Amino acid sequence: MKKVDFLKNISARLDIILEYKGSKILDTQTALLLKSINEYGSILLASKSVGIPYSRAWERISKIERILGVKIIERHRGGANRGGAKLTEQGVKLIEYYEKVAKKYNLDIRKPLVSIPLTLAEVYIVAGSHDIAFEAILGNLKRKYSYNLEVHWIGSSGGLAALMLGEAVLASSHLFDEKSGEYNVPFLKNYWLEDRATVIRGYMREIVFGFPRNYDFNSLDDILSRLVAGDIRLVNRNVGSGTRVLLDSLLRDYCSNRGLDWESCIRSIRGYNFEVNTHIGVAKAIVNGEADVGVLLRCAAEFYGLKTLHLRWEYFDFITLRDKINTDFIKNFIKELMSSLTKDILEKYPGYKVEETIGKIVFP
DSSP structural state of residue 8: G
Ranges assigned E (strand) in the chain: 18-20, 23-26, 73-75, 85-87, 124-128, 149-153, 170-173, 176-177, 182-183, 197-211, 236-237, 275-276, 294-297, 307-321, 352-353, 361-363
pLDDT per residue over 240-294, tens digit each?
788 888 999 999 999 999 998 888 888 999 999 999 988 999 999 999 999 999 9
DSSP one-letter string for 137-193: HHHHHHHHH---EEEEE-HHHHHHHHHHTT--SEEEE--EETTTTEESGGGGGGGT-
pTM summary value? 0.78
C-alpha distance from residue 330 to each of 287, 317, 325, 333, 355 (Å): 37, 14, 6, 5, 20
CATH for 207-313? 3.40.190.10
Distance, in Å, from the CA atom of 200 to the CA atom of 352, rounded to the nearest integer, reads 17
Structural contact between residues 351 and 298, judged by C-beta atoms closer than 8 angstroms: yes
C-alpha distance from residue 33 to each of 50, 143, 180, 214 (Å): 6, 32, 38, 44
pLDDT per residue over 183-200, tens digit each?
899 999 988 898 999 999
Residue 118's pLDDT is 43
Distance, in Å, from the CA atom of 48 to the CA atom of 84, rounded to the nearest integer, reads 16
Class of domain 14-104: mainly alpha
pLDDT at 178 over 70: yes
Mean pLDDT score, 140-166: 89
pLDDT per residue over 240-251, tens digit each?
788 888 999 999
Pairing of strands 18-20, 23-26: antiparallel
Looking at domain 124-202+317-348, does it have CATH number 3.40.190.10? yes
**What is the signed CA dihedral for 178, 179, 181, 186, rounded to 10 degrees?**
-100
Express as a percent the part of the chain with pLDDT over 70: 93
Whether 207-313 and 14-104 are alike in CATH topology: the answer is: no
Structural contact between residues 319 and 184, judged by C-beta atoms closer than 8 angstroms: yes
* 3-state class (DSSP) for residue 353: strand
* Amino acid at position 324, single letter: K
C-alpha distance from residue 356 to each of 184, 338, 347 (Å): 19, 9, 14
- Band (114; pLDDT cuts 50, 70, 90): low
In the chain, where the domains are located: 14-104, 124-202+317-348, 207-313
Distance, in Å, from the CA atom of 265 to the CA atom of 248, rounded to the nearest integer, reads 11
Distance, in Å, from the CA atom of 260 to the CA atom of 22, rounded to the nearest integer, reads 27
* Amino acid at position 286, single letter: I
Cα separation of the two ends of the chain = 68
Residue 328: count other Cβ atoms within 10 Å of its Cβ. Answer: 9
